[in-house]
Chains A and B, each alone.
Chain A
Amino acid sequence: MPTPLIQISGLEKAFPTNESWLGQWRFQHGKLKRRKDSVHALNGVNLTINQGETLCVVGETGCGKSTLARVIMGLTQPSAGEIHYLDQRIDQLNNRQRMVFRRRMQMVFQNPYASLNPRMTVYQTLSEPISFHNPQLSTSQVDEQIDALLESVGISASSSDRYPHEFSGGQRQRISLARALSVEPDFIVADEPLSALDVSVQAQVLNLMMDKQEERNLSYLFITHDLAVVEHFATRVAVMYLGRVCELAPTRTLFSAPKHPYTKALLSAIPRLDTNTAQPIRLIGEVPTPINKPVGCVFQARCPYANQRCYEQSPAMMMQGDASSVACHAIEEGRL
Chain B
Amino acid sequence: MNLLSVSNLHVNFHMKERELAALIDVSFTLNRGERIAIVGESGAGKSVLGFSIVNLIGKPGYIHSGSIKLEDKELTSMNARQLQAIRGKRIAMIFQDPMMTLNPVLTIGDQLVEAIRNHTKISYKDARSIAIEKLHHVQIASPEKRFDQYPHELSGGMRQRVIIASVLLLNPDIIIADEPTTALDVTIQAEILQLLLAICRDNGVALVLISHDLGVVSKVAERTLVMYAGQIVEEGPTLEIINDPQHPYTQGLLNALPQMTLPGQRLNQIQGSMPSLAERPSGCAFHPRCPYATQKCKQQQPDFIYSGVSSVACFLVEDMLNEFADHDQEAQ
> Do A and B belong to a common assembly?
yes
Query: A residues near B, CB below 8 A?
Result: 60-62, 168-171, 197-204, 206-207, 210-211, 225-229, 231-233, 251-252, 265-266, 269-275, 280, 282-283, 285-287
Q: Which residue of B lies closest to A170 (CB)?
A: B273
A271 to B242, CA, bound (A): 14
Q: Which residue of B lies closest to A232 (CB)?
A: B258
Q: Which residue of A lies closest to B239 (CB)?
A: A275
Task: List residues of chain B with CB within 8 A of the CB of A233.
Answer: 258, 263-264
Known A-B contacts A203-B269, A207-B269; the reply to A198 vs B41 at CB < 8 A is yes
- Given A200-B269, A231-B259, 18 more A-B residue pairs with CB atoms under 8 Å apart are A60-B185, A198-B42, A200-B270, A201-B41, A201-B42, A207-B266, A207-B267, A225-B185, A231-B258, A269-B189, A271-B190, A271-B193, A271-B215, A272-B218, A273-B214, A274-B218, A280-B194, A285-B141
Task: List residues of chain B with CB within 8 A of the CB of A274.
Answer: 218, 242
Query: What's the count of A-B pairs with C-beta under 8 Å?
Result: 123
**What would be 22 A-B contacts, judged by CB atoms less than 8 Å apart?**
A60-B185, A168-B43, A168-B273, A199-B212, A201-B273, A203-B269, A207-B267, A211-B266, A226-B186, A228-B258, A232-B259, A233-B258, A233-B263, A233-B264, A266-B186, A269-B186, A271-B193, A273-B257, A275-B219, A280-B187, A285-B141, A286-B157
Cβ of A50 to closest chain B Cβ, rounded Å? 16
Contact pick for A227, options B186, B252, B253, B263, CB 8 Å? B186
Let me know if B264 and A210 touch, CB within 8 A.
Answer: yes
Task: List residues of chain B with CB within 8 A of the CB of A231.
Answer: 258-259, 263
A237 to B262, CA, bound (A): 17
Cβ of A262 to closest chain B Cβ, rounded Å? 9
Let me know if A228 and B257 touch, CB within 8 A.
Answer: yes
CB-CB contacts of B248-277 with A at 8 A, as 1s and 0s? 000011001111010110111110011000
Flag whether B86 is at the interface (Cβ < 8 A). no
Known A-B contacts A202-B256, A232-B261, A233-B258; the reply to A275 vs B218 at CB < 8 A is yes
CB-CB contacts of B147-179 with A at 8 A, as 1s and 0s? 000000001111000000000000000000000
Let me know if B263 and A286 touch, CB within 8 A.
Answer: no
Q: Which residue of B lies closest to A235 (CB)?
A: B264
Flag whether B213 is at the interface (Cβ < 8 A). yes
Query: B residues near A, CB below 8 A?
Result: 41-43, 141, 155-158, 184-191, 193-194, 212-216, 218-219, 238-239, 242, 252-253, 256-259, 261, 263-264, 266-270, 273-274
A198 to B43, CA, bound (A): 10
Task: List residues of chain B with CB within 8 A of the CB of A207.
Answer: 266-267, 269
A233 to B253, CA, bound (A): 19
Cβ of A278 to closest chain B Cβ, rounded Å? 12
Task: List residues of chain A with CB within 8 A of the CB of B268.
Answer: 203
Contact pick for B267, options A171, A227, A232, A266, CB 8 Å? A232
Q: Which residue of A lies closest to B191 (CB)?
A: A282
Contact pick for B158, options A198, A271, A286, CB 8 Å? A286
A204 to B214, CA, bound (A): 18
Let me know if A270 and B215 touch, CB within 8 A.
Answer: yes
Known A-B contacts A199-B214, A225-B185, A273-B214; the reply to A287 vs B256 at CB < 8 A is no
